[in-house]
Chain A
Amino acid sequence: MPLISKIPAGPIDSKWKTYKATCKLVNPANKRSLEIIVVGTGLAGASAAASLGEMGYKVKAFCFQDSPRRAHSIAAQGGINAAKNYQNDGDSTYRLFYDTIKGGDYRAREGNVHRLAEVSANIIDQCVAAGVPFAREYGGLLSNRSFGGTQVQRTFYAAGQTGQQLLIGAYQGLERQVSLGNVEMHSRHEMLEVVMVDGVARGIIARNLVTGELERHFGHAVLLCTGGYGNVFYLSTNAMGSNVTAAWKAHKQGAFFGNPCFTQIHPTCIPVSGDHQSKLTLMSESLRNDGRIWVPKQKNDQRKPSEIKEEERDYYLERRYPAFGNLVPRDVASRAAKERCDAGYGVGSSKMAVYLDFGAAIERYGKIEANKQGKPNTSKDEIIVLGKGVVKEKYGNLFDMYEKITGENPYEMPMRIYPAVHYTMGGLWVDYELMTTVPGLYALGEANFSDHGANRLGASALMQGLADGYFVIPYTLGNRLADDIRTKAIPTDHPAFVAAEKEVSDRINKLMSIKGTESVESFHKRLGKIMWEKCGMARNEKGLKEAIAEIAALRKEFWSNVRIPGDIDEFNPELDKAGRVADFIELGELMCLDALNRNESCGGHFREEYQTEEGEALRDDEKYMYVAAWEYKGVGQFEMHKEDLIYEVVHPSARSYK
């Protein structure tokens, strides 16, 4: 099957305009009889469901949490990018496009990324109109800050809770449509199958997580807005419930999976404290605006950070990357931290951590504040007090969170941080219209693979989720549904629905009947360990081959020895989790296969065999400038299809932040 990306012809800055001007439309009366299923209610899902409801479609939305407001977009901290150029610092749509393409290490589609940059400004307008209380300056206008991989200030934020504020904005829009009867909301429901009728996605089978009942839902189209699959690593910054199940079921029904091995390891997370660890917590990238990252110059230095003098500290990011310093992109910063720790310079009891230090920022802000208050002769102690106040206003909630988790006061001593799995650039392959290789089945937000290439820049996930939901899908979905207006709602006693429900029911019964000895949690941990060690921040051929064999063995063991307590027809979180872990195991195998296939290093994918003498990633554009789209061919069997990436505007070059 050929992969057709459907990128419109024409110059880069007119592709989306041309598309919008020429795509097919559905008239208001017809919209009322077209039904759409939206799975997931994070930024992409909530904004899509709200926007489509406003347009007049009949929408059904689903989430596994108790309320759509809980989706994990809520935890995004730092901000959202937009090419507004409010700071007059040279930003433009083109620059955001360029930074994103370069940041993605030339593994993203130009057409999609340019569209993303174009609509970025509309997102900020929309959110402000919907009541999102972004940070403002004293003049009443919006404030910006910097994020990694850019040299302009284009990140809009709401303290360290930007994701929360944006999601609440989208959620309120969604609830408004619920109250108007345009959206029917199903919380505590999990999608467990895509229903295919004549080769087209026409509905889903969902399980009511309270009663255990299976439900059949018809839709003219199905939108998966189900987020990323970072929890395949067991430990990640994702929420406990974040999973790949919906995307994986779609994959098994024929949706190709794009670049599954592209994983983002975020450089600034609170380090693991012990075997009990259930998840990792991010410390926002925005902290790198003001915090400086360092390790001692001396190996295995046991002294407290306060006892290590300035000249004995190695600010290794500033040393290696003077042009971007502490604000290099995430993949670069993560690898540099790993390199220092592996070489024996790590700090803390585990020695797998580096310092993120606000000492200099506190002093700098303190001086500015003293000047503002007209007190140039303030003592150093008072300057520190003033500086701490400024830092508290900027990052207070993050500092509090750090203190709650570690019991240490980050105003007094540097934070200890280490990289952790955070985001997955890979996902369901979609064309320009966000449709997967299954007709009528769409993927939005982190669930798709499209815009971030091999590495996502900070503050771009929120941008993409809302771009897809607010401004892309309302157009591209209409272009398909315009030809579907004669399709009547398919009754859910149709044989395809009956068969799909039976499939799901059989799978659940099989899981429950194993009655083995090992918990779901234990299998998940074992999978995570394999993935982190062999398909994590650094990968090599030998390790990946071992991982593939180990995961296949783990899969067999899971299906013969997992123990799931409780019953099917009740609230049973262990059963919910068992289904998710079963899918993660299958996905893990594919991720390793993809990483093994890609004999190059690019973005978050670092193959140890392919690096420069200085340890930088070595891309191979001759052989690997393509999207690897994998087709499911049976358990543990996948066939790769290539979508060649064509760069008409940006000329791929070695990505340098030096």
Chain B
Amino acid sequence: MQHYNMNLTLKVWKQKNGKTKGGFETYPVKNVSSEMSFLEMFDVLNEQLVSEEKEPIAFDHDCREGICGMCSMVINGRAHGPWSQNTTCQLHMRAYKDGDTITVEPWRADAFPVIKDLVVDRTGFDRIIQAGGFISVNTGNAQDANALPIDKQKADESFAAASCIGCGACVAACPNASAMLFVSAKVSHLALLPQGEPERMTRAFNMVNQMDTEGFGSCTNIGACEAECPKGISLENIARLNREYIGSMMSGSKVEGMA
């Protein structure tokens, strides 16, 4: 692979905090190596800003290997940038060429308020999990792990859904800012396993309720979430969530909060 250097123009969303209005600022960045990751390019820019006694750009990031789900940038209009099934931290600068202008914004959704610059508050996702994204098993209750064989295909499908990293790209990509892909991934992960069976009837209902309470939008089957999901979470999960949700409604007596 041939490596090269490039000069870029960055247009980055700057916003002091949740109470003030934000706007784009333009930054030239010079001598960016094609071997850098996108966030390393931001590191270089921030170092430059600190040396010029300017304020660096705040952005969320942690593992930088595509698994923690903390990084969250909308790059030229696409959540996590141009590469498919990829997180911002794993995007590398060989995706760009000399002279490019790159626009970077935070996740945009009412349910993800901006904290500062590119950093948003995603605790709504935690509250959705609190509403039912778990199996109620206290430590010490478990039987032998092999006492209950699970069909490999089901286990694999469950794993595929469970590989969601909770980054929120699905919400950022969706014109309605719906969190259906996130919720459906968790519901599917647990519904596909026999261990998840006992709470199946309440889980989908409670989680969807919480999603609505948080202010996430409705699903209108656009599919942008699947297209931008860094982990390739499938839309089929949303279909399953809908079935689970209807199942919850049908057995209303078991659902908390339903008469």
Contact = CB atoms under 8 A, between A and B. Distances in A.
A404 B58 CA distance: 25
Interface string A57-72: 0000000011111111
Contacts of B39: 278
B70 A125 contact: no
Contact of B56 (A130, A141, A470, A574): A574
Given A51-B139, A571-B17, A239 B62 contact: yes
Interface in B111-137: 115-116, 119, 121-123, 125-126, 129-131, 133-137
Given A66-B121, A179-B130, A471 B139 contact: yes
Interface in B131-158: 131, 133-146, 148-152, 155-156, 158
B143 A129 contact: yes
Interface in A129-147: 129-131, 133-142
B63 A72 contact: yes
B163 interface: yes
B189 A185 contact: no
Contacts of B65: 75, 237, 279, 281-282, 401
A522 B48 CA distance: 12
B83 interface: yes
A407 B152 contact: no
Nearest to A563: B50
Q: Which bucket holds chain A's interface residue count?
A: 35 or more
A136 to B, nearest CB: 5
B258 interface: no
Interface stretch (A167-175, A286-294, A639-647): A167-175
Nearest to B116: A571
B79 to A, nearest CB: 16
Contacts of B156: 133, 136
Contacts of B122: 66-67
Contacts of A550: none
A519 B189 contact: no
Binding site of B, secondary structure by majority: helix, strand, loop or mixed? Answer: loop
Contacts of A407: 1, 92, 94
A571 B190 contact: no
A565 B33 contact: no
Contacts of B67: 74-75, 161, 163-164
B92 A131 contact: no
B100 interface: no
Contacts of B138: 51, 54
B195 A172 contact: no
B68 A75 contact: yes
Contacts of B40: 276-278
A274 interface: yes
Contacts of B83: 404
A178 B1 contact: no
Contact of A519 (B51, B69, B148): B51
Interface in A176-208: 176, 178-179, 185, 187
Given A130-B135, A130-B195, A406 B56 contact: no
A133 B155 contact: yes
B94 A175 contact: no
Contacts of A565: 49-50, 53-56
Contacts of A464: none
B66 interface: yes
B94 to A, nearest CB: 6
Interface string A383-408: 00000000000000000110011111
Interface in B30-84: 33, 35-37, 39-40, 43-44, 46-47, 49-51, 53-56, 58, 60-70, 83
B248 interface: no
A405 B60 contact: no
Contacts of A443: none
B165 interface: yes
Contacts of B152: 136-138, 140
A638 B239 CA distance: 61
Contact of B142 (A72, A126, A405): A126
Nearest to B166: A69
B50 A133 contact: no
Contacts of B96: none
Nearest to B134: A172
Interface in A463-521: 470-471, 474, 519, 521
Contacts of B115: 210, 571
Nearest to A50: B139
Contacts of A128: 142, 145, 148, 195
Contacts of B140: 122, 126
Given A70-B70, A74-B63, A175-B134, A165 B162 contact: yes
A159 interface: yes
B13 interface: no
Contact of A66 (B47, B51, B70): B70
Contact of B134 (A127, A136, A173, A273): A173
A3 interface: no
A9 interface: no
Given A54-B139, A131-B193, A84 B145 contact: yes
A401 B1 contact: no
A331 B91 CA distance: 31
B133 A175 contact: yes
A142 B68 contact: no
Contact of A187 (B36, B61, B123, B155): B123
A360 interface: no
Contacts of A164: 67, 163, 165
A503 B139 CA distance: 39
A159 B158 CA distance: 12
From A66, A185, A278, A401, name the one whose CB has the most chain B CB atoms within 10 angstroms.
A66
A227 B134 CA distance: 25
Contacts of A124: 145
From B46, B62, B148, B156, name the one whose CB has the most chain A CB atoms within 10 angstroms.
B62
Nearest to A172: B134
Nearest to B93: A276
A278 B47 CA distance: 12
A67 B58 contact: no
B196 interface: yes
Contacts of B134: 130-131, 172-173, 175-176
A489 to B, nearest CB: 25
Given A130-B137, A164-B163, A139 B61 contact: no
Contact of B196 (A69, A131, A175): A131
Interface string A269-307: 000011011110110000000000000000000000000
A70 B62 contact: yes
Given A74-B68, A124-B145, A406-B1, A276 B33 contact: yes
A376 interface: no
A8 interface: no
28 contacts: A65-B62, A66-B70, A66-B121, A66-B122, A67-B166, A70-B63, A122-B140, A125-B145, A126-B139, A126-B142, A128-B148, A135-B159, A140-B149, A141-B149, A142-B145, A179-B131, A239-B68, A241-B62, A276-B35, A278-B37, A278-B40, A279-B65, A282-B65, A405-B90, A407-B1, A407-B92, A519-B50, A519-B51
Sorted nearest first, the 3 A-B pairs with minimum C-beta distance are: A140-B149, A129-B142, A172-B134
Given A67-B122, A128-B145, A278-B40, 11 more contacts: A141-B149, A142-B146, A159-B159, A239-B62, A273-B35, A276-B44, A401-B65, A406-B1, A521-B43, A570-B16, A571-B58
